[in-house]
Structures are given as C-alpha cells and as structure tokens.
Amino acid sequence: MFESIRVSMGGPVSEPTKGPRGGETPARRHGKPETAKGTELHPFAHYLRIVARGETRSRPLDETEANEAMRMVLRGEAEPVQIGAFLAVLRFRQETAEEIAGFVRAARAMRPPVEKAKAELDWPSYADAHRQLPYFALAALLIAEHGTRVLMHGIEGAGPATTVAVLGALGISLCATPDAAARSLERERFAYLPLGVACPPLRKLFGLRPILGLRTGANTIARELNPFGAQYQMQGVFHPNYIEKHRGAAERLRQPNAAIFKGGAGEAQRNPQKSCRVVLLRGTKLTEESWPALHDGAPYAWREEPLDPSRVVALWRGTWAAAVPEAAVVGTAAIALHLLGKVDGPEAADRLARELWQKRPKTKYGRG
C-alpha cells in the first residue's frame, strides 16, 4: 500500500539524514531534539511532532513552517506514511488560516511557468462528488461575455455532470498547458485549467482520498491556488466555518479582492431561494453583506433533477426554462459583478445580471 502512495506522489523518498534543503534539518534549525534512542529523525518528523504530539504539546504550524512542510510533501521529500499521518491529523483538527496560507505559497512555488497570463477573475471548482448540476459555469461564461477574463480551474470529479463534463457539453475544451489557457483567455475571455496542469504535485494529493478514506487539505489549498494571480476571486464553500478560514488565508496571501460565501455543493453558486451571507475582501477592507433570496416557492430539488449536462446547455440556449436554476445563474453572476466593481450593491447587481442574462448569445455554446 505504501509503495502505491510512493509512486502516486512521484519521486524517491528522502534520506533521513538530509534536511529539506540538503543542509541543516528542520529539527536542528528549530533547536529540537534530533534523536530518539540514538536514531536520527527524518527531517519531516519535525513537522509531525509539532502538529501531533498530543493535546497539550501539539500546536498549529506557523506560516513559514507550513510552507516548508508542504514543500517537502510536494517535492516527494516526505515518506508516504508521514504524508498520510500529516494530512489526517490536520483533517481531524482542521487547518488554520495561517497554515492554509503557508501551504498555498508552497503549491504556488510548484506551478509551471506561464507567459502573458491575464486572468482577471479566478474561479475555483473543486467539488469532487457532483450531486447537482454546476449551473455556476453559466454564470462564469456570462461574466466572460461581459468582458472579464475568467480562469476556472479544478479536478475531474466524479459523476456524469461534473464541471468538466458540462463545459464539454457547452463546447469548451480543457487547456492542456498554462500557455494554452493564457491564449484562451486572450481569445475567448474564458479558460478551464485542470489542476493536474496548474500544479501537478498538488493534484496527486487528491489521489490519497481513497487510500486514507477521507478528504484532505488539498481541496482547500487548491481553492486558494489562483494559478494566474487574478486580482479577483470567487470562493464558494460547503461548510460556513470555512468562510473565515478562506478569508484569513486570502488576507495573508494578499489577495486583492475576493467574494466568499456558502455555495451549492461547496461551489461558487448562490442558492436563489435563500438569503446569502457574502464576505467581501477589497484590499485591507473587509465587509459582510446579506444578499436576499431571489425566488419564492417550494424548495427546488437540486439533488433530484437528472444529472444531465444537456440541461445546463439547454438553459443557456433557451430551449429549456427553469426559474430556480436560472435564478441561480443570475444570482451567482450578480455576486461576481459586484465583486468586480461593475455595480454597487446587491439589488443593482441582481438587476444588471438579469439584463446580461436576457442579452446572452444563446447560440454561442452547445449545439442546437
């Protein structure tokens, strides 16, 4: 089993006598004991000791420690069993905003180089088990049609109606390289970049879920990756407590502008039948807004509708009408428009988004 993890992470395991930079070990640099009964500790053991030494002796990593630890993980310098233990402990305890920021900095350092990337709005999509249709993809396209370059990134996911599957049905191809994504942004103002292209080592961490039997912090890290350094970021979360974690991480990462809210299935998709708390980060200014529900009536059965990508295509093309999904598209686009500074306030944003939806180029995406 451990050999399979070793292969999936890529690269040989490190020698326990070498530090992460080939010199001093973390234990020596931090003044920690290096030996246990005469056996020298593996360099990564230092970070495990910090987070997993028990209720009274463990503590969260600071941002520098988190950066160093994740660099070792992504470079293949930690043993597979160490990686599993590290991720499991953090999952149980939950990562702090400071740790998330350090992990993200490490992942960003592993990104392939790209020239002339001009994304304006970063739109992560990392729901790994799709149980409802990703109507937010239409909101992202609507924003792109309005003149903003939108970079969406994510993983393949599971199920018949993933973000990737829906984009494919709309006629949008995945970008095989960062440069291809940059060209697509320039030409179409929209691009989808798979995480396996944006940051291959981070994508491999997602492969540990069936081995560990649980999600890991890889999902949170990927959401904050912002591969092209866009000035604006849409951030949807599943659990409300992660709003504060992403807010804190975004502040530490100096993300200029971000909208963070509880979205459908953990994606950046507004539920139009409920009021929505949106945390807005603009530079050093933090505001919190309450966006009203857009649609009354019986609750929409999001998880009971057919998981058929053609429904999303039909909604864009106007060959299928569904008031609540349409309101989800409009409402999500409204948050993005407000974030981008195109309009001020929820009411005006909802109104502008509705106008843009009515004027959308219906025949541009999908097939008639």
Residue range 188-231, pLDDT digits in tens: 999 999 999 999 999 999 999 999 999 899 999 999 999 999 99
* Residue 308 main-chain phi, psi, to 5 deg: -120, 115
What is the rounded distance in angstroms from the CA atom of residue 252 to the CA atom of residue 97?
Answer: 8
Residue 158's SS3 state is: strand
- pLDDT tens per residue, range 38-94: 689 999 999 999 999 988 999 999 999 999 999 999 999 999 999 999 999 999 999
Q: At what angle do helices 63-74 and 80-93 cross, to 10 degrees?
A: 140
Q: 123 has which bridge partners?
A: 152
Provide the residue ranges of all domains of the chain, joining segments of one domain with +: 2-93, 121-358
Closest CA to 258 of 271, 243, 276, 273: 243
Phi, psi of 231 (to 5 degrees): -75, -20
* More confident position, 100 or 127: 100
**What is the pTM (predicted TM-score) of this model?**
0.89
For residue 115, what are its two tokens? 């020239």
User: 121-358: which CATH architecture?
Assistant: 3-Layer(aba) Sandwich (3.40)
Residue 217: closest CA among 88, 125, 123: 88
How many CB atoms sit inside 10 A of residue 25's CB?
Answer: 22
Would you mind telling me the total number of residues written for the chain in this entry? 368
The sign of the CA dihedral 131, 309, 311, 136 is positive
Q: Hey, what amino acid is at 51?
A: V
As a whole number of angstroms, the distance between CA 131 and CA 306 comes to 10
